[in-house]
Structure 1
Amino acid sequence: MDKVPMTVQGHKALSAEFEHRTSNERRRIIDAIAEARAHGDLSENAEYSAAKEQQSLNEGRIKELETLLALADIIDVTKLSGSTVKFGATVTFIDEDTEEEKTYQVVGDPEADASAGRISISSPLSRAMIGKEEGDSFEVAAPGGSKSYEIVKIRYI
């Protein structure tokens, strides 16, 4: 499989989630299953079924996190520089129609969270910005039609 690019902070967050799920969540779910078992007949025990489903979801996420962490290509953004947009760049741009200013950091897929100002390197917005410089305009195909933006500032922090 290919390496998964991610920032140092993204790797720390995934590692912390892995630690929490393997240490705390696993123990809590096992306790919930044991308590539900104590209630008797498992065939009609909703608490037992819910706890087993939680266990399945938690174990699935643990496997996913193990894979992501094993394939992680950790990139220290503070050591990057340049005048063009690439992985790790924090880009401020303006919507040319509404004059609304937005700032996003280009990060790896596992750590993307648009509401927290982080967009995936594989998102249409990031792909349209890659290689552009301050002052450049770019277009993104959106459901309501094409949107035009102008890059105001590029930082590597």
Structure 2
Amino acid sequence: MSCAVKILLRSAIIAAYELGRHFASKAFTRESDSDRDDEDEIQPALQLPQGVKNYISPAGHARLKAEFEHLLRVERPHVVEIVSWAASNGDRSENGDYIYGKRRLREIDRRLRFLTKRLDIAEVVDPLSQQNADQVFFGATVTLADEQGAENTYTIVGVDETDLGRGHISWVSPIARALIKAREGDTVRFQSPAGWREVEIVSVDYRSST
């Protein structure tokens, strides 16, 4: 095999690893050759409380399925091919391509197991089907005003859809639980890391939920 081909394959495995990091959740951080219970690899923010349903929006459910299909049908076969090539090059103990590829395969397999479990117990809830649109329930986009009058907007989503950068908060979070069943104009209190806070509900909207 020419040096040029080897360089291309080495670049491919690095690219596959970086692509996988983009698709895979940050929930998995520890490395080991042995299988662990997947729940041990999940950050506390992603864990479901005992006995609660795994509510998720249609868009969130579609994203999880798309990630699963990509990992299973595109990335994993690609990494397996690269690992097979690397294994044929001799001593595996000092073969960086082989070690790097096997590590990525473990990450992919853990993520696939996690996604399988989550999709199996997912209960899809379409915000647009909400009958009591004047109250806060799963899928609502809520604008809140704090004690100083500053406004922030949050969308209540599933545990696997949480994205604080976009204002998407889990429905099991303290603030979301405090908001459930409240209406526009209501004042609610919830416990934040900085202590108890009080906010007023400025608006409730389901049309802008994603």
Instruction: Report the aligned-residue RMSD.
Output: 1.6
Q: Is the counterpart of residue 65 in structure 1 residue 108 in structure 2?
A: no
Question: CA offset at residue 53 of structure 1?
Answer: 1.1
Letter matched to residue 77 of structure 2: R
Listed as ranges, the matches of 1:8-157 within 5 Å are 8-82=58-132, 83-97=134-148, 99-157=149-207
Give 3-state SS (helix, strand or coil) of 1:17's partner: helix
Question: CA offset at residue 100 of structure 1?
Answer: 2.2
- C-alpha separation in 2, matches of 1:62 and 1:146: 39
Question: CA offset at residue 108 of structure 1?
Answer: 1.2
Question: CA offset at residue 88 of structure 1?
Answer: 1.2
- C-alpha separation in 1, matches of 2:75 and 2:57: 25
Give 3-state SS (helix, strand or coil) of 2:98's partner: helix
- C-alpha separation in 2, matches of 1:143 and 1:4: 25
Contact 1:2 1:71 in 2 (8 A): no
Q: Higher strand fraction: Structure 1 or Structure 2?
A: 1
Consecutive unaligned residues of structure 1, counting only runs of 5 or more, are: none
Letter matched to residue 130 of structure 2: L
Question: Cα deviation per residue 1:66-85 (whole Å; 9 max; x = unaligned)?
Answer: 11111111111111132221
Letter matched to residue 105 of structure 1: T
Question: CA offset at residue 56 of structure 1?
Answer: 0.6
Question: Cα deviation per residue 1:6-37 (whole Å; 9 max; x = unaligned)?
Answer: 11111111111111111111022112212321
Moved over 3 A (4+): none
Matched residue pairs, number?
156
- C-alpha separation in 1, matches of 2:185 and 2:128: 23
Give 3-state SS (helix, strand or coil) of 2:104's partner: helix
Letter matched to residue 87 of structure 1: F
Letter matched to residue 88 of structure 1: G
Letter matched to residue 136 of structure 2: V
Question: CA offset at residue 2 of structure 1?
Answer: 5.8
**Identical-pair percentage:** 37
